[in-house]
Chains A and B, each alone.
Chain A
Amino acid sequence: MSAALVALVLGDDVSTDVIYPGRYMATVLPTETPQYAFADLGPFNARLKAGAVPAGGVVVAGKNFGCGSSREQAVSTLKGHELVIVAHSFGRIFLQNASNLGLRLVEAPGVSANEGDELAVGATEVVNLTSGRRFAIRPLPAARQAIIDAGGLIPYTRRRLLTPAVGG
């Protein structure tokens, strides 16, 4: 269990419009989307672009993080900065996209933290080392975990194509 710094704390219902504003949607390449992460949260975007948020930095949020649009840029932009999202719950399509692309999401109902807190994210619980509070992690459904374990949906699908008997 390694400790990481909380880089940003947000509330409930953070939409994909906030994570990756629609006006940048013509940009699709995972190598290019990271520059627009939280573009409308100017100071945080500036810190990301300046490399001031180390890999493994944590964004803590309330319920329904990633609600709204199906845009996959909202995942690739966060993955590009190697952020970990710890939230009370996630929007369905965002959760699906994250496991397909390998962005680490941690569902920890009730989780609370302040910016600058140290969080230890383990397999079964999140410990806020600054406040001492502990929050149980709700595991992903097994079927979704299988895609993560395969390294994402692209290798998972490739394997299905090459061994069609598995699928269908």
Chain B
Amino acid sequence: MGMTVVQRILARASGRSEVAVGDVVEPAVDLAMSHENAALVVNQFREIFRDTGLEPRPWDPSRIAIVFDHRVPAESPKTATNQKRVREFVAAQGITRFHDIRGDRGGICHQILPENGYVRPGAVVVGTDSHTTSHGALGAFAFGIGATEMASVWALGYAVNVEVPATIRVNVSGTMPPMVGPKDLILHLVGVLGAAGASFRVLEFHGDAIGAMPTSGRLTLCNMAVEAGATSGIVPADAETLRYLKEEAGVLEAVHPVVADADAAYERTVEVDVSALAPQVACPHTVDNVHPVGDVAGRHVDQIVIGSCTNGRLDDLAVAARILRGRKVSPATRMLVFPASGRIYQQALAAGYVADLMEAGAVVMNAGCGPCLGVHEGALGDGEVALSTTNRNFKGRMGNPASEVYLCSPAVAAASAVTGVITDPRPEGGR
């Protein structure tokens, strides 16, 4: 029986010729990523070594990446102190893949890792963030873990107790209509699968629509695989992956894609044709409460958010800038934009997108997670409604349980900024 991409990766990383679904393996970790919660990882890491007589040193500092993004710049003395402690650990351990609060190399972890070439096809990537699934966009097996599990990885260099997951194959065919993109596809898919529909499983993406999709869009897809409960999403590496790594991530050495066997066994196959897909909106308070934009068009919005690890990339900002160029954000709403990295921010400046957005009335903030998880800035008032390109709309997600969050693409968000109500971005509203 053939193996899926993730089975191939896990077999290689655990030194076996093959693995079957349900096998428990201990794969060597190629990249171990944390953000501010490295503060807790450091605590747990020291705890592991307590009374062992061993010096608490990570197995390989060159395979650790730490990126500050959740609360940048720090919003409180507590966060600032956590960040300070992590900086001290980073310096003491010689961790070089450290991305502090900076306009040149800072940003959101799920953009920083790809754009710096840290993620390679076939790699095992773990991160103390559930959206670590994003990195499957480059053909890696990437999944979220807790802080204690990361401390264990830092100590051992491998992940203990990994059950080889079953894989759901997702075949995506057709050509995206204008103003419809990867975000609409993944929202649609989460709606079809349900919030637990892919629990403990991998979503492996195939089809001509995936082949034609740039890596930025694949990152959006894999980012939200976890919203269907998936352990990871993965796009098997192809010519576009190699192009991205060489041209955008500066990877000069040879890259070796890992592909599924022709006779790989999938638990099931889901077919999606995007040719007639409408822009999608996830309504409060679950990500699988997905409707075509027409169902909720006209609903008043108090705050529009464009950004995050899901949709803060250059092409997302380009779509928004194109829609808002020469127009104004409605005085009935407000609009916040968070580029996913300092590099993207600079590219958006050079391309004129930042000027377009600011002249329209949007506030362009520094790169980071922003209001997505309600810890930092852009809080909502009681009874207020946000329309956001982020990935979660759970009750209280943006910091106020008395508010509502709708999720959408950058095109829907920008078109809605002009009107102040949820708006279909397609010409003639798609009719």
* Chain A residues with a Cβ under 8 A of chain B: 12-13, 15, 17-18, 21-23, 25-29, 40, 63-64, 67-72, 75, 89, 91-93, 96-97, 100-101, 141-144, 146-147, 152-154, 156-158, 160-162, 167-168
A23 touches B375 (CB 8 A): yes
Q: List B contacts of A75 (CB < 8 A).
A: 146
Min CB–CB distance B71 → chain A (angstroms): 7
* Chain B residues with a Cβ under 8 A of chain A: 24, 26, 36-37, 39-40, 43-44, 47-49, 52, 54, 70-71, 76, 78-79, 82, 128-130, 132, 144-149, 151-152, 155-156, 158, 160-161, 163, 195-196, 199-200, 229, 231, 286, 288, 373-375, 392, 394-397, 399, 401
Q: List A contacts of B392 (CB < 8 A).
A: 15, 17, 68
Min CB–CB distance A42 → chain B (angstroms): 9
Min CB–CB distance B34 → chain A (angstroms): 10
> Given the interface contacts A68-B394, A161-B54, does A153 sit within 8 Å of B149 by beta carbon?
yes
Q: List B contacts of A156 (CB < 8 A).
A: 152, 160
The answer for the CA separation of A13 and B199 in the assembled complex, in Å, is: 12
B148 touches A64 (CB 8 A): no
A93 touches B286 (CB 8 A): no
A13 touches B196 (CB 8 A): yes
> Given the interface contacts A40-B401, A70-B144, does A26 sit within 8 Å of B79 by beta carbon?
yes
Q: List A contacts of B43 (CB < 8 A).
A: 28-29
B146 touches A26 (CB 8 A): no
Q: List A contacts of B401 (CB < 8 A).
A: 21, 40
Min CB–CB distance A112 → chain B (angstroms): 18
The answer for the CA separation of A26 and B128 in the assembled complex, in Å, is: 14
The answer for the CA separation of A68 and B199 in the assembled complex, in Å, is: 11
A92 touches B146 (CB 8 A): no
The answer for the CA separation of A97 and B40 in the assembled complex, in Å, is: 13
Min CB–CB distance B22 → chain A (angstroms): 8
Choose one: A29, A141, A143, A154; the contact of B148 (CB below 8 Å): A154
B128 touches A70 (CB 8 A): yes
The 3 closest A-B pairs by CB, nearest first: A97-B146, A64-B196, A22-B373
Q: List B contacts of A27 (CB < 8 A).
A: 78
Q: List B contacts of A17 (CB < 8 A).
A: 373-374, 392, 394-397
Min CB–CB distance A150 → chain B (angstroms): 10
Min CB–CB distance A96 → chain B (angstroms): 6
B199 touches A93 (CB 8 A): no
- 14 residue pairs of the A-B complex, CB under 8 angstroms, read A13-B286, A15-B394, A18-B394, A25-B70, A26-B375, A71-B146, A91-B196, A92-B200, A97-B148, A143-B24, A161-B54, A161-B156, A162-B54, A167-B160
A22 touches B397 (CB 8 A): yes
Q: List A contacts of B147 (CB < 8 A).
A: 28, 72
B144 touches A157 (CB 8 A): no
The answer for the CA separation of A101 and B47 in the assembled complex, in Å, is: 13
> Given the interface contacts A22-B397, A75-B146, does A161 sit within 8 Å of B375 by beta carbon?
no
> Given the interface contacts A160-B160, A168-B26, does A100 sit within 8 Å of B149 by beta carbon?
yes
Min CB–CB distance A103 → chain B (angstroms): 11
B39 touches A28 (CB 8 A): yes
Given A13-B286, A13-B288, A17-B392, list of 17 further CB < 8 A pairs?
A15-B395, A17-B394, A21-B401, A23-B375, A25-B373, A25-B375, A67-B196, A68-B130, A68-B392, A71-B146, A91-B199, A92-B200, A100-B148, A153-B160, A154-B151, A157-B156, A167-B158
The answer for the CA separation of A13 and B200 in the assembled complex, in Å, is: 15
Min CB–CB distance A113 → chain B (angstroms): 20
B163 touches A22 (CB 8 A): no
Q: List B contacts of A167 (CB < 8 A).
A: 26, 156, 158, 160
The answer for the CA separation of A146 and B44 in the assembled complex, in Å, is: 19
The answer for the CA separation of A17 and B227 in the assembled complex, in Å, is: 14
B161 touches A143 (CB 8 A): yes
The answer for the CA separation of A67 and B136 in the assembled complex, in Å, is: 20
Q: List A contacts of B152 (CB < 8 A).
A: 100, 153-154, 156-157
B163 touches A143 (CB 8 A): yes
The answer for the CA separation of A31 and B147 in the assembled complex, in Å, is: 16
Q: List B contacts of A153 (CB < 8 A).
A: 148-149, 152, 160
> Given the interface contacts A67-B196, A97-B148, does A147 sit within 8 Å of B399 by beta carbon?
no
Min CB–CB distance B250 → chain A (angstroms): 29
> Given the interface contacts A18-B394, A70-B128, does A100 sit within 8 Å of B146 by beta carbon?
yes
> Given the interface contacts A40-B395, A93-B146, does A70 sit within 8 Å of B70 by beta carbon?
no
User: Which among B149, B151, B373 has the highest number of chain A CB atoms within 10 Å?
Assistant: B149
The answer for the CA separation of A47 and B160 in the assembled complex, in Å, is: 37
Q: List B contacts of A40 (CB < 8 A).
A: 395-396, 401
